[in-house]
Structure formats: C-alpha cells, structure tokens
Amino acid sequence: MTEVALDQLHARAHACAWDRVRRNTAGTVVGLVILGNAAFITWLWVHGGNVTKVHTTGEILTSIARLTGLWSAYLALIQVVLLARLPALERAVGFDRLSRWHRWNGHVCIDLVIAHVVFSVWGYALMDKLPIAKEISTMIWGGVYPGMITATVGTAFLLGVVATSLVIVRRRLSYEWWYVVHLLAYAGIALAWFHQIPTGNELVLDHTAANYWRGLYVATIVVLVLFRVLAPLVSAMRYRLRVAEVTAEAPGVVSLRITGRNLDRLRAHAGQFFVWRFLDGKRWRSAHPFSLSAAPDGRSLRITVKALGDHTARLGELRPGTRVLAEGPFGVFTDRARRREKAVLIAGGIGITPVRALLETMRGDIVVLYRAISEADVIFREELDRIAAARRATVHYVLGDHRGDGADLLSAAHLKELVPDIEDRDVFLCGPPAMTEVLEQNVRGARVPRRHIHTERFALT
C-alpha cells in the first residue's frame, strides 16, 4: 500500500472515530432527555399521592390509569419527535433505526392508551358503584370530566391507525392510504390533549406541573414545524432542484439526474438517501425515499428507481425541468460507519443503488457481491466494472432465482467461498426488506460480528 493510500486510510479512520464520538454523544444526550422527562413524569404521579393515598381496589385501578395515561401521552409525543426528521437525532441513530423505534414505541404507546382506558373505566366504576356501561356514558357525556368527548374520538383515531398498521390490513391498503390514515395519529394526539390538564389529577391542581406539561406539547409542535415544514421549504428555496435528465437503465428501471444550486452545501454522502417529492400535477402529493445511485459531486444528484408500484412505475414519465423537493440527506449507510480497512458491499436487486455510489468513494480492499435474478435484472454493469477496475475492487455478479437453482446463493457457505476473509471485513448490505433479512442472517452465519454489519433496508415501515 502506498504512503498516500495509508494517509487517506488514517485520515478516514480519524474522521470515523470522531463521527462515532459525535453520534454517541448526541445519542446519549437524546436518551438522557427522554429518560429524564419520563422520570419527572413518574415523580409527578408519585407526588400526586398515587402511591401513598391509595387504599381501595378502585383507587388502585385509577392510580394505575393515571400512570398509564401520563406515560402514553408522553410516548405519543416521543412518537412524533422520532419521525420529525431532527438532523441530530437522525445522525445519531439513523433513519431506519428511528423508524423501527417509532414502530415499537407506537406499540407500547397504544398498549398504554388501552390500559389507561380500561383501568379508568373499571376503577371509576368501582368507586362510583356503577355498572361499566353506565360509567362509560357518565364519563363521556356526564359533563363531570371535561374534554372526554374529544379524548374518546382521539382514542378512536389512534386505534384506527393501529388497525391499518397491522400487516394483514396494510397489504390490502395502498401505502398512500395507509399514510393518510397514519396522519390521524396527529389528530388523535391533539384531541387527547383536551382532557389531560382538566382531568389529570397530577396536573389540574399544580400550576407548575401543568405548565411543564404544556411545555412538552409546545416543544414537540416547535420541533415538528421547524423540521417537517420549515426545513423542507428553506431547502427548496436554497437548492432549487429540478429534474435534468431521465434515463432508462433496464426494463422498469430509470435514473433521474437532478440539478440545482449550491448542491455542495447539501453535505450528502454516497450511501445516503433523500425523501423526494416531484412537483408535477400527478405526483406532488406523495414523497418517497430513494438512495443516491452515484456519489454526489456538488453539481447534480442521481437516483435510480425500480418500478414496484403506482408511484415508481410512473417516474419514467417525468419531464426534464420538473421541480423537486428533497428532504435529507438521511441515513448512516456510509463509509463513515466502516470500522475496518476491508469491506464487502452486498446488494440485493435494486439495493445496488447506494452500493454503486459507495463503490465510487470507498478506499481500501473492496469486494462487491451483486445478487440479481438474471442478467436482464443487472443494472450499472458497465459502470460497476469501470469503477472496480479503476479502484482495483472485485465485483461478483451472483445470478439465479431463489425459488429454483439459486436457493443457496449467498448462503453462509457461499459467502465464505466468494470472500474467504469475510470475517475480517465490514459488510454493507442493502436491498428489499425480505432479501436483506435473509442475507443478514447468512452474513452472521459466516461469522461476521453484528457491529461490522451495516444494513440499509428499502422499507421504512
């Protein structure tokens, strides 16, 4: 290895180490803020006499209802913040991990909402000595507890979101419809707000606690407006992105070259993705994530899209000059995640897009494994071979149908055969979700430790 190459590796290792420190620090700060607020909210509940002044079964149940109510409302706010596209959070955790957290946090939040409703009704029914049905109608319509009608509608919205998120239902709904229903969650959270301070035991009598609670909501709204609304608008004005060129790469696969102003200021890296919105009559309503399929050069960005559904099938119709909004760059599937000098980049199908960009920029000993069903599905062959020759990297095209002869392709044994020293490499893995899961297991089976595997799944939900 030449001295220049060694210097480059050291500089990269230094930058990566700093990057990790920054990410870990940001992650720790975010974690501490979240846990600190959770602890304070729990303290509010204890301070409200929910442990010491509880004697009867009804009181125990309503005390649990209060705690589950406070926690569920807090987790609902965290749910919003997790996908508010906060740059520091995104850099510290990664968009895909945030999406996973969002999903799990959502599950816990809904479980707590249900527990809150059940324990409230049950507890108050025992204390008021009323049958459950009568207690429910008294709570909602009786006028004793303010904000209960809106809270009930809000809960119904949240349950509607859960129903549409269940895998079986999701498969029958288009993503766009599922997304619209998902927006109801925001409405649900807003509606639930109206009963919290007027009926919350811990908040109604304590001004400081009530102000703190308001502060949590205001902070969440500010984060949401800043990063989901204003940041994309500012970026649209600053970069003025437009489609410059549409190129067919293969049947059903097109590349879009997008130009704009000051693109070097985007600070995008090979391996990252943006959420793209194309502003023509048919497409402006929906935004979709696509990775950069070439390393950004400060003058233009390229994405490459495979037709898999309504939106992607029609991107080839875009006209040059169409204005584009792009949120991002997002993702930690970049060279900065690498811990070792040697790496294997594994692409499944259209997962080649960020891998193609990474190959262009990664230094060191690189092997690419490109898994496709047949030669007709391979894209960028000429580009990959040219870049690999220039970088002295190796590209293996691994072709075959997994439902037939290709079942064992890229199994753990096959991976070891193709890359005998795979255990000593970092592995970057990208593709559609099902394929990525199988390949990840195989890579683990080839004895690559988890911390050396970097995955980009082409799914956010």
Ligand X SMILES: Cc1cc2nc3c(=O)[nH]c(=O)nc-3n(C[C@H](O)[C@H](O)[C@H](O)COP(=O)(O)OP(=O)(O)OC[C@H]3O[C@@H](n4cnc5c(N)ncnc54)[C@H](O)[C@@H]3O)c2cc1C
Binding site for ligand X (CB under 6 A): 174-175, 273, 286-291, 303-306, 308-312, 350, 353, 456, 458-461
Residue 289 φ/ψ, nearest 5 degrees: -85, 130
Task: Evaluate the omega torsion of the peptide bond into residue 420 and state whether it is cis, within 30 degrees of 0.
Answer: no
In the complex with ligand X, the residue whose CB is nearer, 267 or 392, is 267
- Joined together, the tokens standing for residue 398 give 């691994």
Angstrom distance (rounded) from CA 446 to CA 423: 7
Smallest gap from residue 224 Cβ to ligand X (A) = 18
Smallest gap from residue 398 Cβ to ligand X (A) = 19
Smallest gap from residue 223 Cβ to ligand X (A) = 21
Cross-sheet strand order for the sheet of 343-348: 394-399, 366-372, 343-348, 426-431, 453-457
In the complex with ligand X, the residue whose CB is nearer, 112 or 305, is 305
Contact 255, 249 (CB under 8 A): yes
Burial (CB count within 10 angstroms: exposed 0-12, middle 13-18, buried 19+), residue 295: buried
Count CB atoms within 10 A of the CB of residue 448. Answer: 23
In the complex with ligand X, the residue whose CB is nearer, 309 or 445, is 309
Angstrom distance (rounded) from CA 400 to CA 386: 24
Angstrom distance (rounded) from CA 451 to CA 74: 31
Angstrom distance (rounded) from CA 399 to CA 319: 34
Q: Which of 100, 93, 105 is nearest to 437 (CA)?
A: 100
In the complex with ligand X, the residue whose CB is nearer, 201 or 304, is 304
Smallest gap from residue 256 Cβ to ligand X (A) = 10
In the complex with ligand X, the residue whose CB is nearer, 63 or 353, is 353
Contact 349, 435 (CB under 8 A): yes
In the complex with ligand X, the residue whose CB is nearer, 133 or 434, is 434
Smallest gap from residue 10 Cβ to ligand X (A) = 31
In the complex with ligand X, the residue whose CB is nearer, 222 or 229, is 229
Q: What is the 3-state secondary structure (H, E, C) of 46-104?
A: HHHHHCCCCCCHHHHHHHHHHHHHHHHHHHHHHHHHHCCCCHHHHHHHCHHHHHHHHHH
Contact 194, 153 (CB under 8 A): no
In the complex with ligand X, the residue whose CB is nearer, 59 or 280, is 280
Smallest gap from residue 179 Cβ to ligand X (A) = 7
Which residue, chain included where needed, has tokens 């929910």? 50
Smallest gap from residue 460 Cβ to ligand X (A) = 5
Smallest gap from residue 313 Cβ to ligand X (A) = 6
Q: How far is CA 275 from CA 85, 218, 271, 281, 331, in A?
A: 11, 26, 14, 18, 11
Count CB atoms within 10 A of the CB of residue 184. Answer: 18
**Residue whose Cβ sits closest to ligand X:** 309
Smallest gap from residue 96 Cβ to ligand X (A) = 7
In the complex with ligand X, the residue whose CB is nearer, 277 or 425, is 277
Smallest gap from residue 302 Cβ to ligand X (A) = 10
In the complex with ligand X, the residue whose CB is nearer, 41 or 301, is 301
In the complex with ligand X, the residue whose CB is nearer, 175 or 217, is 175
Smallest gap from residue 277 Cβ to ligand X (A) = 9
CA geometry: angle 177, 180, 181, nearest 5 deg: 90
HSE-CB at 172 with a 13 A cutoff on CA atoms is: 5
In the complex with ligand X, the residue whose CB is nearer, 121 or 243, is 243
Smallest gap from residue 95 Cβ to ligand X (A) = 7
Sign of dihedral through CA atoms 299, 305, 309, 313?
A: positive
